[in-house]
Amino acid sequence: MNSAAVKLFLTLLWLVPGLGFLVHDLITGRPVAVPMGRWQLPLAWICLLLAAFNFVRWWSVRSRVDLRPQLSRRGRREPTGEPDPAFRFDDPPSSEVREP
């Protein structure tokens, strides 16, 4: 399975309960919450935060994949003319070391 597809699936997996908890909170007026010390942290916000996080991860993978063809086209250049015979890279390296 594609990693971008997994990230998008996780986004939807967190978005559905997040919206469900949010609708429940709006209809009943009582939020479903997790106690965190003195505060009550609504589950709707936790789920929506995780959905947003996975959406950003999916978007970053998607935009990186879209840039690859453009970058590879820029890097390739057609050779211009004949190669210079003065540059021979198949010669063995010189063993003498030059002092400055």
* Residue given tokens 């309960």 in the structure block: 17
Please give the pLDDT value at position 44.
94
- Contact present, 29 and 7 (Cβ < 8 Å): no
Higher pLDDT, 17 or 75: 17
The two three-digit tokens of residue 41, written as one number: 């942290």
Structural domain boundaries of the chain? Answer: 3-65
40-73 pLDDT, tens digit each = 899 999 999 999 999 999 998 887 766 555 555 5
